């Protein structure tokens, strides 16, 4: 399946997410307590914004996704988030975002020095119970590491 990425609209969505982060920090939420999460296109946007954001964020959850702006990441990435915790998960039978696209994104991140937790599940373009448990564990480890 060959899908063209609408980078213009993806970047517009990324700008909206940046605005949401800025709204939260303006209301007193410290950036290091903000975890970005997204499924499919939302995961691509979470990765795009989280890896480029200029203040340290808590983490990134990127589910059943890919990285359409990987070719500019090395130049655009933020040093504040080079060590950001990242969890990526993908269904091995995903017909919407091919498994290979998600795995490739994970490998690209690892080549750039990011620490990525990779999880795969025997499912399609969806979320399963085991994944929800893994997400919960990642969130606790990331947002409240003293309780793990």
Which residue, among 91, 85, 115, has the nearest Cα to 103 in the 3D structure? 91
| pLDDT over 70 percentage in the chain | 94
Taken in order of first residue, the domains within the chain and their CATH numbers are 32-147 (3.40.50.1820)
Q: Is the pLDDT of residue 55 over 90?
A: yes
pLDDT tens column, 37-49:
999 999 999 999 9
Residue 8 pLDDT more than 90? Answer: no
HSE-CB at 16 with a 13 A cutoff on CA atoms is: 8
pLDDT tens digits for range 77-120: 999 999 999 999 999 999 999 999 999 999 999 999 999 999 99
**Cβ neighbours around 12 below 10 Å, total:** 11
Q: pLDDT at position 3, please? A: 57
Nearest to 135 by CA among 41, 69, 36: 36
- Give the active site residues: 40, 94, 125
List phi, psi (to 5°) of 70: -60, -30
pLDDT bucket at 2, cuts 50 / 70 / 90:
very low
Does residue 1 have a pLDDT over 50?
no
pLDDT band at 147 (very low <50, low <70, confident <90, very high): low
- What pLDDT is recorded for position 144? 85
- For 56-68, how does the pLDDT look when each residue is reduced to its tens digit (9 = 90+)? 999 999 999 999 8
Residue 46 in tokens: 């979470």
Which alpha helices (DSSP H) does the chain contain, by range? 7-26, 41-52, 70-76, 99-111, 129-143
């Amino acid at each position: 399946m060959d899908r063209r990425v609408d980078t213009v609209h993806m970047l517009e969505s990324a700008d909206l997410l940046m605005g949401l982060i800025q709204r939260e920090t303006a209301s007193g939420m410290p950036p290091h307590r903000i975890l970005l999460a997204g499924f499919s296109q939302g995961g691509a946007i979470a990765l795009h914004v989280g890896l480029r954001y200029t203040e340290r964020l808590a983490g990134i959850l990127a589910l059943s996704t890919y990285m359409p702006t990987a070719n500019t990441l090395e130049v655009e990435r933020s040093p504040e988030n080079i060590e950001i915790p990242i969890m990526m998960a993908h269904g091995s039978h995903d017909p919407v975002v091919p498994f290979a696209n998600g795995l490739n994104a994970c490998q690209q991140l690892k080549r750039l020095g990011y620490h990525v937790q990779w999880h795969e599940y025997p499912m399609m373009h969806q979320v399963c119970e085991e994944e929800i448990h893994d997400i919960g564990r990642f969130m606790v480890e990331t947002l409240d590491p003293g309780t793990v």
